[in-house]
Structure 1
Amino acid sequence: MSAIEFSNDEKMLIVHKIKNYFSEKLDQEIGQFDAEFLLDFFSEEIGSYYYNRGLQDARAVLESRLENIDEALYEFEKPTEFAH
């Protein structure tokens, strides 16, 4: 799987959040380049774990909804008699 790609606006927002995190939580300043490099690292090396978890969650929701639809369809069935 290739790295997760973000639009320029998304990337700017995420990089801003990375820089703020380093500043507020780690009391360290991180430059734009380093923050972008860190984002690229997480996208390439860790992003697929989050992506796959999102797919698993979506699959579970879809399966649940399909089960509800299947049950609803059975409710519409009419009784039948077989003539022999």
Structure 2
Amino acid sequence: MKPLTKEEKNQMMIAIQRYFAEEREEEIGELAAINILEFITKYLGSYYYNQGVRDSRNIAVQRSQLLEEDLFALEKRI
């Protein structure tokens, strides 16, 4: 998995701060938001990554089956 850019990390940090402000009525600083982001990335990110891989695999299998059907349809009768 490629590392996040500084801009992506910054956007995520801001989103975490916004969540705490809007949902929990708590103000957290940049360091706390970065620590939460690092925790999520380290301990939870693999679950989301693996789900994305499974979803991609399912789509590839479905498309492969459709391609196989299309190829059979192209065969000429003997």
What TM-score comes out, normalization by structure 2 length? 0.93
SS, match of residue 46 in structure 1: helix
Structure with greater helix percent: 2
Q: Can you list the C-alpha shifts for 1:28-76, whole angstroms capped at 9, x where unaligned? A: 1111011001100000100000000011111111110110000000011
C-alpha distance in 1 between matches for 2:49 and 2:34: 19
- Aligned length, in residue pairs: 78
Identity of matched residues, %: 33
The alpha carbon displacement at 1:78 in A equals 1.5
Structure 1 equivalent of residue 33 of structure 2:
35
Moved over 6 A (4+): none
What TM-score comes out, normalization by structure 1 length? 0.87
Contact 1:5 / 1:43 at 8 angstroms: preserved in 2?
A: no
**Over alpha carbons, which structure has the higher Rg?**
1
Aligned-residue Cα RMSD (Å) equals 1.3
Gaps of 5+ in 2: none
Greater length-normalized contact order (CA 8 Å, ≥ 6 residues apart):
1
